[in-house]
Amino acid sequence: MAVRLNEDADIVRMIRKGLADKGGYCPCRLERTPETKCICQEFRDQIADPKFEGYCHCMLYYKSLDD
């Protein structure tokens, strides 16, 4: 299992700007709670799922099953 940044530099730049503007909270979410602080709880749960492969909600990170 490996977690990496999205390979699209424009998406990474846009999401990182949104994170900075929102104080580290997911720019794709309206609420600012501990669960939406990057890396959000949803993606941490997906990382813990041995069968999940894919992007986090905002597409900043990608979890692959291969190293």
- Rounded to an integer, the average pLDDT of 3-31 is 96
User: Domain range for residue 14?
Assistant: 2-64
DSSP 37: B
pLDDT of residue 66: 78
pTM over 0.85: yes
Peptide bond connecting 39 to the previous residue in cis, omega within 30 degrees of 0: yes
* % of the chain surpassing 70 pLDDT: 99
- Number of structural domains in the chain: 1
More confident residue, 66 or 25: 25
